[in-house]
Amino acid sequence: MLSHTPDSNTTMVITIKKSGKVENILISRQGAGRFAYSQTSKTSTN
């Protein structure tokens, strides 16, 4: 086990736009390998 600890709270948001659809992917990493992942999709009006 390494004694060095990287940033324990890392949040990354990826936004993908394709063919009138917007997808937001939220990836958050909270220490000790715990991992939370959520994805929301919505249809844009244009």
- Is 2 a member of any domain? no
- Is 13 a member of any domain? yes
Contact partners, residue 16, CB within 8 Å, separation at least 6: 22, 23, 24, 25
In this prediction, the residues of the chain whose per-residue pLDDT falls under 50 are 1
Q: Are 27 and 37 in contact (CB under 8 A)?
A: yes
The whole-angstrom separation of Cα 28 and Cα 45 is 28
* pLDDT number for residue 8: 52
- Is 4 a member of any domain? no
Number of domains the chain is built from? 1
* pLDDT number for residue 6: 53
pTM: 0.29
Note down the domain range covering 27: 9-43
* pLDDT number for residue 24: 75
Q: Are 41 and 23 in contact (CB under 8 A)?
A: yes
* pLDDT number for residue 1: 43
